[in-house]
Amino acid sequence: MDTIVAPATPTGGAIAIVRVSGEDAFHIVESSFKVNLAVKDGKWNATLKKLKIGDEVLDECIVLTMPAPKSYTGENMVEIHSHGSSFIVRKIVDTLIKHGARAAQPGEFTKRAVLNGKMSILQAEAINWLIRSENSKGWEIAKKQLEGEFEAVIRKLRKGIIDLASDMVADLDFSDQVELSMDYFEKKARYVLGVLEKIVKSLERSVVIFNETKVVIAGRPNAGKSSLMNSLLGRDRVIVSDIEGTTRDFVSETVNIGGFRIRLVDTAGIRLNASDEVEREGIRKAYREIEGATVLLLVVDLERGFGDYEKNVLLSANGEIIIVLNKSDRVDDSRISEVMESVTTWVKNEELDCGRVNFAITVAKDGIIHEVVDKLKTILKGILDVEIPVVPQERYLALFKDAHKRAQEVVDAVRNGMLDAASFLLEEIVRDLEFVLGKVDVEEVLDEVFSKFCIGK
């Protein structure tokens, strides 16, 4: 295995670290900088060394040696802690390359760690996301995956699959000696389906957690959208005036609410009869945002009430909804009840899912929006509460979704008395998920058959 080198820290800090990994790591560092590392077998060792290039001292550095296999990559590794000058770092890396090291490709240290069995691919991906996590939830998930919680679920899935596969083999290959009922097969197939379902759901939510959650503010012109936006951001970002249609373009900001990273979008005030083409285009865009919102904040002007305008918006929403009853300072409480009542009745008549619709009463221009924040937190917590800690991976999501679909087909095939097709589909699942499950060899399944059933002539 050749020896690779790369800076491990970004430029600009007081200290910079250069990492070297590979069989010849010690030798290359020694010959590059004319130092003796005095590596001790099986032990980490940190010493202060003057690194020389030619006869000239480049820098005084802490040199940490980590002999294989007790290192991150499982290979011989050296970390050089120098002063944080980009010149020094460049010099160190260039000199090492001149003496036989190779510039590492992105992620190559971790890749080696995986290939050398120091960590699983799932742990490696967790590390990747741990570095990128920007909120407590993301950090928690990445950390749990790193600690192996997701792998425990995968092991459970693998066990469930082998259990089912071996039952199928016993029944299909030793039909005269083992006869299991279709109900029994269905129960076991449903278990596998259930685990896959949880994984898919968790992966989907994880995508939301690690990427941004979109919260979209909509409402009639001058209902108070921009005031709400500003209050949520805690500053005057959006120009607020009493003239309708002040906000023509969308305003979008990232904000952290209750540990969740959120992209807050303020749509242009949608008028039902837009006068010019520019505004009509704006309206189309606004509807697209509303459709894609994780949470929709529909601002209703209590003075004007709940009308066709609001109904159109609600019918376009796909996510959770908070009806923000704004300008409560200007109306009587009975008016608030009246508006709420009319919304509830309409929602029921339209057979919308009532659970999706929440109310919050606000005076946005004065920053009285705590009800919105509380509702938002509760909703986000509900959406983002993952059962299985797993970092988002588009590839995983696609494969697990496929596997989930197949598992549903397994259940269907069993129900239709096609155990032959069910066993084929189960093998497809195993092959498609091979990269996480590990290979399931036919001998492993047969071993399980013979340990479970007393088979033989």
Partner 1 sequence: MFDDKYDVVVIGAGHAGIEAAAVVKRMGKKVCLFTFDLDTIGLTPCNPAVGGPGKGHLVFEIDAMGGVMGELVHRSYTQIRVLMTSRGNTARVLRAQIDKKMYQLEARKILEEMGVDVKQDEVVEIVIEKGRVKGVKTALGKLYSCEKVILTAGTYLDAEIVLGFKKWRAGPSNHMASYALTKRLLKHGVEVTRFQTATPMRVDGRTIDFQLMKPLMPDVGITSFKFGKKVDKIRQVPSYLTYTTKETVEVIKQHLSTSPIVIGNIAEAGPRFCPSIDRKVINFPEKPDHQIFVEPEGFNTVEWYLQGLTTSMPPYVQHKILESIPSLKRARITRYGYAIEYNVFPPFKQLKPTLEHINVKGLYFAGQINGTSGYEEAAAQGLIAGINAALSLDGGKELVLSRSSSYIGVLIDDITTKSFTEPYRLYTSRVEYRMILRASTAYFRLTPIAYRLGVVDRKFYEEVERLRKEIQRTVELLKLKKIAPTKKVNEKLKEVGSTALSKKVSLAEILKRPEFNYSLLKRLFPEYVPELSSPDAEFEVETEIKYEAYIKRQLSRVWKREKFEKFEVPEGFDWNLLRGKISAEALDELIRTSPSSGKEIARLARVSEEDLVFLYQFFRDKKFRLRILGMKAEEL
Asked whether position 420 contacts partner 1 by CB under 8 A, the answer is yes
179 versus 242: smaller Cβ distance to partner 1: 179
**Residue 421 interacting with partner 1 (CB under 8 A):** yes
Q: Is 151 in the site for partner 1 (CB under 8 A)?
A: no
- Looking at the Cβ atoms of 95 and 120, the one nearer to partner 1 is 120
In whole angstroms, the minimum distance from the beta carbon of 207 to partner 1 comes to: 24
Pick the stretch among 24-32, 144-152, 365-373, 417-425 that binds partner 1 (CB under 8 A): 417-425
Q: Which of 71, 90, 69, 89 has the alpha carbon at shortest distance from 81?
A: 89
Judged by CB under 8 A, which of 136, 177, 254, 345 binds partner 1? 177
Residue from the set 149, 212, 253, 427 that interacts with partner 1 by CB under 8 A? 427
Alpha-carbon span 342 to 372, nearest angstrom: 20
Report if residue 428 touches partner 1, rule: CB under 8 A: yes
Residue selected from 59, 171, 320, 448 as contacting partner 1 according to rule CB under 8 A? 171
Q: For residue 408, state whether it binds partner 1 (rule: CB under 8 A).
A: no
Q: How far apart are CA 98 and CA 373, in angstroms?
A: 58
Q: Does 183 bind partner 1 (CB under 8 A)?
A: no
Of the candidates 35, 123, 31, the residue with the CA atom closest to the CA atom of residue 72: 123
Residue 158 binds partner 1 (CB under 8 A): no
Calpha distance 49→128 (Å, rounded): 32
Tell me whether the omega of the peptide bond preceding residue 69 falls within 30 degrees of 0, making it cis: yes
In the list 112, 188, 220, 225, the residue contacting partner 1 (rule: CB under 8 A) is 112
CA 274 to chain centre: 39
DSSP letter, residue 365: G
Tell me the β-bridge partners of 361.
325
Which amino acid is residue 308, in one-letter code? D
Judged by CB under 8 A, the chain residues 313 through 332 that form the site for partner 1 are none
List the structure tokens of 198: 């949880």
- Among 119, 180, 300, residue whose Cα is nearest residue 128: 119
77: left (phi over 0), alpha (psi -120 to 50) or beta: beta
5, 92, 104, 114: residue in contact with partner 1 (rule CB under 8 A)? 114
To partner 1, the closest distance from the beta carbon of 26 in angstroms equals 17
3-state secondary structure of 53: strand
- Check if the beta carbon of residue 223 is closer than 8 Å to that of residue 326: yes
Q: Between residues 338 and 432, which has the closer beta carbon with respect to partner 1?
A: 432
Residue type (1 letter), 222: N
Interface size with partner 1, residues (CB under 8 A): 48
Question: How far is it, in rounded angstroms, from Cα 435 to Cα 125?
Answer: 13
Q: What character string, x for contact with partner 1 (CB under 8 A) and - otherwise, covers 34-73?
A: ----------------------------------------
Nearer to partner 1, 182 or 255 (CB): 182
Please report, as a single letter, which amino acid is at residue 24. D
With binding defined as CB under 8 A, does residue 423 bind partner 1? Answer: yes
Least gap, CB of 96 to partner 1 (angstroms): 16
The minimum distance between CB 132 and partner 1, in angstroms, equals: 25
The region of 24-32, 280-288, 333-341, 422-430 touching partner 1 under the rule CB under 8 A is 422-430
Is 97 a residue that touches partner 1 (CB under 8 A)? no
Q: At what angle do helices 308-316 and 277-291 cross, to 10 degrees?
A: 50
Select the residue interacting with partner 1 from 38, 57, 172, 239 (CB under 8 A): 172
What is the enclosing helix (H) or strand (E) of 219? Answer: strand 213-219
Nearer to partner 1, 257 or 421 (CB): 421
Longest dimension (CA), the chain: 90
Residue 204's nearest CA partner among 396, 377, 429 is: 396
- What's the min distance (Å) between Cβ of 27 and partner 1? 17
**Helices 394-415/419-432 angle, 10° precision:** 170
- Choose between 356 and 415: whose C-beta lies nearer to partner 1: 415
List residues binding partner 1 (CB under 8 A). Answer: 1-2, 75, 102, 112, 114-117, 168-169, 171-177, 413, 415-425, 427-428, 431, 434-435, 438-439, 441-446, 450, 454-457
